A and B are shown apart, each in its own frame.
Chain A
Amino acid sequence: MTVVGTNARRYEGPDKVCGRAKYIDDHDFPGCLFGVTVRSSVAHGRIRRIDFDPKFPWSECVVATARDVPHNSVLLIEQDQPLLVDEIVRHAMEPIALIAHPRREKAYEALRHVHVEYEELKPALTLSQALGTEALIFAPDNVFKRFLIEKGDVEAGLRSSHFIVEGEYRVGHQEQAYIENNGMAAWWDNGGVSVMGSMQCPYYVHKAIKHMFGLPDEKVRVIQTATGGGFGGKEEYPNMIGGHAAVLARKAGRPVKIIYDRGEDMAATTKRHPAVVRHCTGLSRDGKLLTQDIEVIMDGGAYVTLSPVVLSRATLHAAGSYECPNVRVRSQVVATNTPPNGAFRGFGAPQTLFAVELHWEKIAQATGIDSLTLRRRNAFREGSITATGQHLRQSVGALETLECCVKRGGYERKRKEYERFNRDPKKKCWKGIGLALVHHGAGFTGSGEAHLASRAAISLTRQGEIKVLAASTEIGQGTNTLFAQIVADTLGVPYDWVAVEAADTGRVPNSGPTVASRTCMIVGGLLQQAAHLFKKEVVEARGSFPKTRKDMHLAAVSLCNGQPEKRFETQYQTPAHVHWDDKTYRGDAYGVYSYATVVADLEIDKTTFEVRVRKITTAQDIGKAINPLLAEGQIAGGTAQGVGYALYENVVMKGGVMANAQLTNYIIPTSLDTPPMDVVIIERPYSEGPFGAKGVGELPMDAPGPAIAAAIYQAAGLLISELPILPEKIAQAKSHDQADG
């Protein structure tokens, strides 16, 4: 092994640093029109008519409505979401019509000359309105999906408990806030369509476009351009924009490009699901978990989109990384007349992990046993059985991350020190330190990977070039680099011998979506197998593997046997140890879990109630860091996003639409708000991952929220059970506190 485990240079780094990388809006297409979207201004209503102001020169424009879409649905899990509203508007900012014009500003101007007349219907904007079916969005009861996990006997567990602790926890929306807004272009030729743009999942777009226009595989080509971040926000929404661009391009007979500006992107595209989580926990006298009864309710927005799978992950992580003999998780995701919520780094887990982790503070208060001791007593270790009955046989670094952070973050010493500090009324701030321990399942849930049946390949061209072929996208997280490192080491060739093909459905097989912390572990694993096949065949043919480029070229000529390339392709096979039952929700929910602990050290200003995180200490067990610098980057970035989730990021909804859809008013942390971080990577290898690697992309998002809330609890003496914890909330809670005291 020579390059795995080193900080190999980023594959596309030089192109990005030199400004050569082309994002979708950098691409020019001859004769291209610019497309914009007419959106609903009401949360629920029936369209009576659409008026086009006769004073506007419509002859310069191309206009498309629902009638221009052959199959008017955005195919994902269900088909309930139209590409363009035909009759019933189910959320504000819903696409109704499309306008294209050769000039961008004229297209925007045209928007002001379209007037949609509605018969307004009563909306259900909140969970309680939806569950009271004040408006019926999804028959029969506005519930998109329910899950139930049962282990042991929760009632019997409660009866034998010495302590019973209840709590309710809430989290709001969160915006992905990638640096590049969503954008796509499309053009038609020979009865087929090409769609190009900023995205995570080219084959999702491929499938959706095929469905919309009734086209066969080979008539649709989807190409990812350089992508400025995704965080889940470009998992499903590109199906919509890509569809819009394709509809306009078809009608115009010319290429069409649609680029959202920040306001439209924030108000119209997906967010993290808000959630309410209720816990009722029973423990023995010495703090061993005996029973966990958990209820999860999530807000899905107006269409199904990915909500069932978000809910699945939320449900499967709801009991935390602890062993408990009796567990019940009842969950549901509910339809509201708000823009659909969707994928966002963590995918349901940050919501339920916030609840289970902060609940330890409440348990500590009730039992008199501190939350660190409680975690030590209950955390997963090798041999533990999870809520779904999964036997954790290997790679369980939970306690190792915990002990590492407790030691390096000075947790126990500072806990006592801050207790003394906070007793002094003359101090200008309160100090607190808090921790959280989480797990995160890598790859698709349950049988999801088997259903995906992903394929990836290595191509050897006749010129001797080695190319990685996968639809997994580089979105800033390091896909290209990791793949090249894994393949180079498996073959035993230098890193720079390996090229990575563009994520273009015309050129690469379907390696599945770039989501769910699966790219390195699952697709990297497929590529490692492909590299083994490749190596074996070369060695069988030649006796040894080439050591020079010249020898590789010679080997390529003979292996390709007159063809331009030879491919070595592999397809996902479920590992022998993984068993899952979709009906009972029992078994191995994920092949393996990654683990992380965060210790957050912070101060609260007594004058302004502002929280400043002074230090984050985190240890994360990711199996193996293929590229430690990139892994650390994922951890630092995810932690910063978690700090935002905990303290700043507040989506203000008014009338079912985001009222603060600007980065001036939706506050994400700047570099000055991002605390110094001590990041430790722990490597407990996973036998099925390439070089032992597990997932790392989402894990860092899970723990900062509850760790910060726990630290605020110590500092201000307030258990604030709803994220984000804005200074306004602390100020208000302090007023009540003083009034009570």
Chain B
Amino acid sequence: MRGAPDTIILLRPRSTRQALEVFAQNPHAVPLAGGTDFMVSWNMGLHNGKTVLDISALRSWRKISAAKTGVRIGALATHADLQRHPALRREFSLLTEACSEIGAAAIQNRGTLGGNIANASPAGDSFPPQAVYEAKVHAVSAQARRLIPFNEIFVGVKKTVLRPGELIESVEIPFLKPRPSRQYFRKVGTRAAQALSKTVAAGLLWLSRDGRVSEMRFALGSMATMVRRLKSAEHFVQGKKLTSEVIDHACELLAKDVSPIDDVRSTAQYRLKVSRNLLREFLSGR
């Protein structure tokens, strides 16, 4: 334990407005939401002598609300909150499934969707579902607000387009019309809980009446510096019937959009092979 609480300046705003004002005045403060990533770096002493903006008590940013066009998820909604929400379970089951596989129960009770995004780990399990659902991130600062497409929020390992003084307010996910013919989520982490993904996949598929693909979306996590949509494979299967040749070729194309590495958790070869198996499992509907 290298963290020293008494060296940290802790800012605890009482309202969202105050939070943005305080953040504007202290743009280098480290936002603290659920703390599940923060505490790891705190334990290493990385926040000693720093300013921390504790937004965990801002209840209005924890709401999940369904509107006509989609569901809006407050940035401070926890992974457990998401799993319990009926509209999310019904319409966006890939996201609730992902939330049920993040860390373990204790992490799911504390960790927030906004915190997960802001932390920008290449292995974030909620990201492939948000990528295929084409979520949008509402970011706010004292001066302005903007809407960032999910696929544009990350710029690298642990890096986002968020600016100093800017916080994630909510994530908006549009309803899917028509509903997809097939949905798929799978996390590969080797152990059954408390696992960091070696690869993690989410997929949506719309088939036309004649069995041709009208649209396919497939995203992988832990396969590059950030979550990646498989644009080449998605484009290739469009308008085609999913014959074994088409599936084989789509699996071949997978490597065009990802660049897995060897690290202490796994190997590039394994990640690629298993990711192809996941895509195959999804496309063949098994």
Contact = CB atoms under 8 A, between A and B. Distances in A.
A52 interface: no
Contacts of B286: 428
A108 B4 CA distance: 11
A648 interface: yes
Contacts of B43: 261
A563 interface: no
B181 interface: no
Nearest to B274: A608
A735 B274 CA distance: 12
Contacts of A648: 190-191
B161 interface: no
Interface stretch (A79-87, A516-524, A533-541, A666-674): A666-674
B196 A727 contact: no
Contacts of A665: 196, 264-265
B192 A672 contact: yes
Smallest CB-CB A-B distances: 10 pairs? A672-B192, A105-B4, A660-B264, A728-B270, A607-B277, A670-B193, A108-B2, A652-B264, A672-B193, A673-B191
Contact of A731 (B2, B270, B278): B270
Interface string B172-204: 000000000000001010111111100000000
Contacts of A728: 266-267, 269-270
Interface of A: 103-105, 108-109, 261, 428, 606-610, 648, 652, 659-660, 664-665, 667, 669-673, 726-728, 731-732, 735
B232 interface: no
A728 B271 CA distance: 9
Contact of A105 (B48, B193, B267): B48
Contacts of A732: 269-270
A667 B191 contact: yes
Given A105-B2, A607-B278, A726-B190, 4 more contacts: A607-B277, A665-B196, A667-B190, A672-B193
Nearest to A644: B191
A104 B273 CA distance: 46
A610 B187 CA distance: 12
Interface string B195-216: 1100000000000000000000
Given A652-B264, A727-B190, A104 B4 contact: yes
B273 A731 contact: yes
A669 B191 contact: yes
Interface of B: 1-4, 7, 43, 45, 48, 104, 186, 188, 190-196, 264-267, 269-270, 273-274, 277-278, 281, 286
Given A608-B277, A659-B264, A665-B264, A103 B4 contact: yes
B157 to A, nearest CB: 16
Contacts of A726: 190
A108 B45 contact: yes
A606 B277 CA distance: 9
A728 B273 CA distance: 10
19 contacts: A103-B4, A104-B2, A105-B2, A105-B3, A105-B4, A105-B45, A108-B2, A108-B45, A261-B2, A607-B186, A607-B274, A607-B281, A608-B186, A608-B278, A670-B104, A672-B192, A727-B270, A731-B270, A735-B273
Nearest to A668: B191
Contacts of B188: 608, 610
A609 B1 CA distance: 37
A73 to B, nearest CB: 30
A106 B286 CA distance: 57
A659 B265 CA distance: 10
Contacts of B269: 728, 731-732
A667 B277 contact: no
Contacts of A108: 2, 45
Contacts of A608: 186, 188, 274, 277-278
Contacts of B48: 105, 109
Nearest to A105: B4
Contact of A609 (B7, B193, B194, B274): B274
B111 to A, nearest CB: 14
Contacts of B196: 664-665
A406 B2 CA distance: 51
Nearest to A607: B277
A652 B3 CA distance: 27
B70 to A, nearest CB: 32
A667 B195 CA distance: 8
Contacts of B186: 607-608
Nearest to B278: A607
Nearest to B43: A261
B104 A731 contact: no
Contacts of A606: 277
Contacts of A659: 264
A670 B191 contact: yes
A606 B278 CA distance: 10
Nearest to B3: A105
Contact of A670 (B2, B4, B194, B277): B194
B106 to A, nearest CB: 12
Contacts of B274: 607-609, 727, 731
B180 to A, nearest CB: 21
Contacts of B192: 670, 672-673
A266 to B, nearest CB: 12
A731 B190 CA distance: 13
Contacts of A607: 186, 274, 277-278, 281
B147 to A, nearest CB: 33
A358 to B, nearest CB: 22
B174 to A, nearest CB: 30
Contacts of A670: 104, 191-194
B29 to A, nearest CB: 20
A494 to B, nearest CB: 41
A728 B188 CA distance: 12
A108 to B, nearest CB: 5
Contacts of B270: 609, 727-728, 731-732
A607 B192 CA distance: 16
A428 B286 CA distance: 9
Nearest to A108: B2
B268 to A, nearest CB: 10
Contacts of B264: 652, 659-660, 665
Contacts of B273: 731, 735
A156 B194 CA distance: 54
Contacts of A428: 286
Contacts of B104: 670
A608 B3 CA distance: 38
B140 to A, nearest CB: 32
Contacts of A735: 273
A670 B189 CA distance: 12
Nearest to A664: B196
Nearest to B7: A105
Contacts of A261: 1-2, 43
Nearest to B104: A670
A570 to B, nearest CB: 44
A609 B273 CA distance: 10
A261 B265 CA distance: 21
Contact of A104 (B1, B195, B267, B281): B1
Nearest to B280: A607
Contacts of B3: 105
A49 B186 CA distance: 53
A685 to B, nearest CB: 40
Nearest to B188: A608
Contacts of A671: 193
Contacts of B4: 103-105
Nearest to A652: B264
Contacts of B267: 728
Nearest to A103: B4
A92 to B, nearest CB: 16
Contacts of B191: 648, 667, 669-670, 672-673
Contacts of B195: 667
A672 B45 CA distance: 31
Nearest to A730: B270
A223 to B, nearest CB: 23
